[in-house]
Amino acid sequence: MLTDAQCRNASCPADKNRHRLTDANGLYLEISPAGSRRWFWKTYTLGKEGRMALGSYPAVTLTAARKARDAAKLQKSEGVDPVQARKIEKLKALTPTGDTFKATAEEWYELKLDSWSSHYAIREKRNLEKDLFPFLGARRIGDVEAIELLATIRRVEERGALDVAHRVLTTAGQVWRYAVATGRAARDISADIKGALKPHHGKHFAAITEPVKLGELIRVIRDYQGGPIVRAALQLAPLLFQRPGELRAAAWAEIDLDAAIWTIPAARMKRRVDGKKNGDPHLVPLPTQAISILRKLQPLTGKGTLLFPGERSHDRPISDNTLRAALLTLGYGPTVQSVHGFRATARTILAEVLDFDPLVIEAQLAHSVKDANGRSYNRTTYLKHRATMMQHWADYLDKLAIGAVQPI
């Protein structure tokens, strides 16, 4: 076995590139021609010789090198590759922001931010700052136990926000999976508590799907006595059945009355960020009834940018609540018919009463329909079919409004 004096006085012979002084149990000191002395422990994996660096002498003394060797041997006896474990520790040390839940979550948030819509980013930030950081933010994420996360989610449940509780858990799970990927946590503990949350049954947007009742609603919409801008938007909502936000923010530059087409830019569609940036616009064929409504609206708002500008600022569209309030004024509250629910109304009646192809309907709804091989259909593929369907739908609503209920 080596002595400290041997280590201190060791040198590399002139005729060698390296010189080794062997201690015991695979430990040796390697001396270079330049005089540097480094400790190594000889390893064997699947019969192949390797080595593990234990530091430089004299910074790492003979006694310290033996302790490091013994620690590595113990790891190996427990089934842990000490060389790989050392690499992992070095990678963990490169983590710049720390290993608390808050530091991990903020790093994950910044990494994902560019791929999210602004609405989704705001929601994720709210989940973190309101419901997770106050209770888990300062804890090392690798030390948090499932029962702690459950207690945190329970606070959300206690205020009656069951849907939010499930979203907060989803956010937490994404942070934990990022923590696992970056070496801050051993596993995703969020999976352990999914079954412990109170079930949340999402509510569908209220929608009338019976032709007779829909006819009654169309009649009262046409008799609406409010302002002409809101009346036009209210009439177009069931006629075109696009998402309320897409309808409210419609611009005259998107409307081609002669070609009877409304081109909604990809950036305004409900899509992922990549789809908004690089996707195709959504084309909405305009039936003659919609053209008539728009031509009457044009003298009122056509000199501006928006079809439906708000009263306070013509640079902003009417608010989310404007059409909801208009329906409520007509006696149709949110539990009977919602503005968004006109999509479900059209989808149901077009398929079940008017017998239109579901693929054509889904294309009109701007839903990405996939085939058996998982490929998405092009939303513009059925444009001619959709134009026919939209005119048929508009004519059908006219029939319903005068009391006819049979398909036309």
Give the model confidence (pLDDT) of 293-339 as tens digits.
999 999 999 999 999 999 887 789 998 889 999 999 999 988 899 99
Q: Name the active-site residue from 37, 69, 166, 243.
A: 243
pLDDT of residue 150: 95
Catalytic, 200? Answer no
- Residue 43's pLDDT band, with cuts at 50, 70 and 90, is confident
Catalytic residue among 102, 340, 379, 386: 340
Q: What are phi and psi of 47, to 5 degrees?
A: 80, 0
| More confident site: 10 or 117 | 10
Residues 340-367: pLDDT tens digits?
999 999 999 999 999 999 999 999 988 7
| Separation between Cα atoms, residue 57 and residue 31, nearest integer Å | 10
Q: Provide the pLDDT for residue 93.
A: 60
At residue 198 the predicted structure's pLDDT band, cuts being 50, 70 and 90, is confident
Quick check: 45 pLDDT over 50? yes
pLDDT at 158 (0 to 100): 92
Residues of the chain with pLDDT > 90: what percent? 60
pLDDT average, residue stretch 214-226: 94
Any catalytic annotation for residue 377? yes
Mean pLDDT over 179-187 rounds to 91
If residue 41 lies in a helix (H) or strand (E), which one and from where to where? strand 37-45
Of 339, 357, 58, nearest to 207 by C-alpha is 339
pLDDT, tens digit, 9 for 90 and up, residues 62-77? 999 999 999 988 888 8
DSSP label of 375: P
Lowest mean pLDDT among 164-168, 174-178, 333-337, 394-398: 333-337
pLDDT average, residue stretch 195-208: 79
How many Cα atoms occupy the beta-carbon half-sphere of 374 within 13 Å?
A: 0
The one catalytic residue in 69, 76, 282, 343 is 343
Type of residue at 211 = P
- In the predicted model, is pLDDT for residue 374 greater than 60? no
Q: Which residues contact 243 (CB under 8 A, 6 or more apart)?
A: 270, 340, 343, 366
The 3-state DSSP class for residue 245 equals: helix
Instruction: Give the per-residue pLDDT at 30.
Output: 93
Of the candidates 42, 219, 276, 377, the residue annotated as catalytic is: 377
Average pLDDT, stretch 7-17?
Answer: 88
- pLDDT > 70 fraction of the chain, expressed in percent and rounded: 91
The reported pLDDT for the residue numbered 404 is 76
pLDDT given for residue 263 in this prediction:
93
pTM of this prediction exceeds 0.75: no
Distance between CA atoms of residues 139 and 150, nearest Å:
15
Q: What is the DSSP letter of 163?
A: H
In order of their start, the domains of the chain are: 4-92 (3.30.160.390), 101-196 (1.10.150.130), 211-401 (1.10.443.10)
What's the mean per-residue pLDDT of the chain? 88
119 catalytic residue (yes or no): no
User: Which pLDDT value is given to residue 379?
Assistant: 47
Say whether 343 is catalytic. Answer: yes
Of 210, 206, 228, which Cα lies nearest the Cα of 326?
228
Distance CA 176, CA 185 (A): 7
- The answer to whether the Cα torsion of 319, 314, 286, 211 is positive or negative is positive
Tell me which of 213, 367, 385, 399 is the catalytic residue. Answer: 367
For every residue of 58-105, DSSP letters joined together read TTS-HHHHHHHHHHHHHHHHTT--HHHHHHHHHHHHT-SS-SBHHHHH
Q: Which two tokens stand for residue 188?
A: 């995703």
From the candidates 277, 314, 375, 384, give the one annotated as an active-site residue. 277
Residues 196 and 157 sit within 8 Å (Cβ to Cβ): no
